[in-house]
Structure 1
């Protein structure tokens, strides 16, 4: 799977349409930009709950007894003494304090999962693997996909296939990210739809992301960006 060849199986859902602007900087390759009613999909996030396909993101898994200390020494987020289910964002900075990678993270019983835009997977994974040295950790790509619930996510019973979830503090709408096995992506969404959770495209997610003042690496930041520009 690469950033240019990925095609989500959820693009087979009725009305699914990818982003047509091939020059857009928004990370949207391979997933639905909308399902035929982009404004209605965003409104449903405020009146109920929707599920957004963000499976184009890639997931890195770090496991081993030194996981917390290893990541704490490399990234901007504090990892020491974090409990299972802890979710946040973390930055990889260069020597001048400029942002190289921006990952969303969640603590699991086995270690830490970090998801990044597809285009950043290779460089981020390589960076972490090169920094292992004597640390007792294993750094691999996890075959997991990201789904996001927008709306009253607390009212939704999560499918059994969900490996991990994290709540993200957005003020205008509740957001909960789910990490699921890629092989179970269609089944998980089918189960959510059976429970009344309809799909919404990445356009609705992007509108809420902008409202929450959360930047996207390629679209909103550049090689000179510093942490103060990443809430």
Structure 2
């Protein structure tokens, strides 16, 4: 579905063709968004609802976060893992006392709704993909409507008298969670993101309000730049078929280490307590002198060895060109890196120098500190 926001002056569509990447001034849009003075059209994302008296207890039994007692209006993030602990779906949750609303990257909605519907068994729950009826808008510095901080620029839907606003828990380590990043001041604290649910048929009216300068708009490029600078993982970009939460430091906001059993829990516990994730997320500070920005899938090299892949990149209004990359865990944090940008046709690949900023450290995991036992028959010296 093509958003009415694409009719606004200067709008340039993103790669999906359905929402705006920017409105002609990406850097100014970033600054307005960071200051809480602009909204982002995220109407290409999906929405799934779960109703019924067992909904929270049921979702709690299937996913990684403790949400059985989520209060109306409260937000959470949870992951659906496969039995081996690999990521299948990430979900942003808000409950209004009657319905649990799952906010998803667009391509996740239909398959997640179908999987959940098959898993109902005897539980009193109903699942529906309502992406055609509901749309998401994004904002930073979005506080409670009657709370401290910047007010929301648009009103959220409230079909059951509870405003449907999801507030990103990435700003702090959640109860039962764990942060691998050793930074004293985690940049996630400066990323108070909110996602606001509105009826999809109200998008045209909201676009008209933006056209009348009632509020400013920013494109998805602005949000991506701020997200990357906050080290905030996203399934649509940072994850692949092998991803486990530890690699992206997603234990910080979406995993509760002391809750009951769920799919993939054994792997989560084993890697966290006894092992190490095979890969780790890093922030790359990229050389911008050649004007080349490595895109998703660009190969990260240490000398002539492939050591990782760029997952997302952007031009930040203060940091310059930056990107997130997933690299081998054992990669030396001080190793000199370049990113290979493959050109189309017969043009040679461009090499962009990159400096690594550690997010998930090499020693992540093995928190139980169990000493390694000597092998049977080994000689002790």
Normalised to the residue count of structure 2, the TM-score between the two structures is 0.54
2:231 paired with 1:213: yes
- CA gap of 1:140–1:37, structure 2 versus 1, over 3 A, is same
Structure 2 unaligned spans of 5+: 144-148, 159-163, 172-187, 253-381
2:163 paired with 1:145: no
2:185 paired with 1:197: no
In structure 2, the residue matched to 1:174 is 192
Which has the larger displacement, 74-83 or 185-194? Answer: 185-194
Q: Contact 1:159–1:192 (CA<8 Å) still a contact in 2?
A: no
Choose between structure 1 and 2 for higher RCO, CA contacts under 8 A separated by at least 6 residues.
1
Structure 1 residues 107-163: Cα deviation after superposition (integer angstroms, max 9, x where no partner): 112221001122122211111000001110110012211101124654335655523
Alignment of 1:2-151 (within 5 A): 6-19=1-14, 22=15, 28-142=16-130, 143-151=133-141
Q: Which has the higher helix share?
A: 1
- CA gap of 1:208–1:95, structure 2 versus 1, over 3 A, is same
Q: Contact 1:50–1:151 (CA<8 Å) still a contact in 2?
A: no
Structure 1 unaligned spans of 5+: 1-5, 23-27
Q: Contact 2:36–2:150 (CA<8 Å) still a contact in 1?
A: no
Normalised to the residue count of structure 1, the TM-score between the two structures is 0.86
Q: Contact 1:52–1:150 (CA<8 Å) still a contact in 2?
A: no
- How far the C-alpha of 1:218 sits from its partner, in A, is 3.0
- CA gap of 1:136–1:192, structure 2 versus 1, over 3 A, is farther
CA RMSD of aligned residues (A): 2.1
Which has the larger displacement, 151-160 or 78-87? Answer: 151-160
For this pair of structures, how many residues does the alignment match?
Answer: 219
Q: Find the structure with the greater CA-based Rg.
A: 2
